Chains A and B, each alone.
Chain A
Amino acid sequence: MDIIGEILISAALIVSGIFGFVGSFGLVRLRNTLQRLHAPTKATTLGVGGMLVASMIWFYVEKGQFSFHELLITMFLFLTAPITAHFIAKVYMVQHLRGDDLPPSGTGEGWSPYDDAPEDRRTP
């Protein structure tokens, strides 16, 4: 196996492992729930991303062909991570904050977990 490919694969694997561990360590270490929401995003983006880069380089060096499954997994995770974080933050807000404590939303309507959706204002 090519020595440059081996070094690249090992570097990507080590970076991925470090970031995966840092994500879960922050999940244990940080004090507040909304602070804890910050840490596992490192594991989602850089941890899984580094692992998939290592896998792509490995399949190119070893088998001599590109594989694109990895890009599919990365794209799916990048699309779904913000939605998950949004839902978890909403659950925390509904269970632990009152609507009166929040600053005004600035749109004339309330915040979405506490008030109903505004009326449909489109002109026919």
Chain B
Amino acid sequence: MIEMALFFAASCYGLALILDLWRIAQGPTAADRILALDTMVINVIALLVLYGIWRGTAIYFEAAMLIAMVGFVSTVAYCRYLLRGNIIE
């Protein structure tokens, strides 16, 4: 039963990543693209935790934590560059 639920969740997040990619390619404004990229980071965190459950190891939590931090910093840096033309003033 857990294998079927894992397969279902993985396919849901795969479809979600494809939809995010469509929004990145299509998105009329830069804010849409940043938002879709941030959503991709969130989906990849969930996929990493799911892969950790599937393989039965706890080593992927560190990778998920690092990706969460890097995704937040990159989103803030991109927004700040568009707002001020500079990242650290």
Contacts and interface: CB of A to CB of B under 8 A. Distances in A.
Contacts of B61: 67, 69-70, 73
Contacts of A25: 16, 19
A16 B13 CA distance: 9
Interface in A70-88: 70, 72-73, 76-77, 80, 83-84, 87-88
A33 B64 contact: no
Given A6-B1, A54-B53, A88 B46 contact: no
A80 B76 CA distance: 10
A13 B31 contact: no
A92 B30 CA distance: 8
Interface in A3-27: 6-7, 9-11, 13-14, 16-18, 20-21, 23-25, 27
Interface stretch (A44-52, A101-109, A116-124): A44-52
Contact of B42 (A18, A33, A48, A54): A48
Which size bracket describes the interface of B in this complex? 35 or more
B22 to A, nearest CB: 6
A15 B47 CA distance: 14
Interface residues of A, number: 52
Interface string A22-36: 011101100001001
A7 B63 CA distance: 27
A84 B38 contact: yes
A52 B2 contact: no
Interface in B1-55: 1-2, 4-6, 8-13, 15-17, 19-20, 22-23, 28-32, 34-36, 38-39, 42-43, 45-46, 49-50, 52-53
Nearest to B16: A24
Contact of A33 (B11, B32, B69, B79): B32
Which one of B22, B32, B39, B64 has the highest number of Cβ atoms from chain A below 10 Å of its Cβ? B39
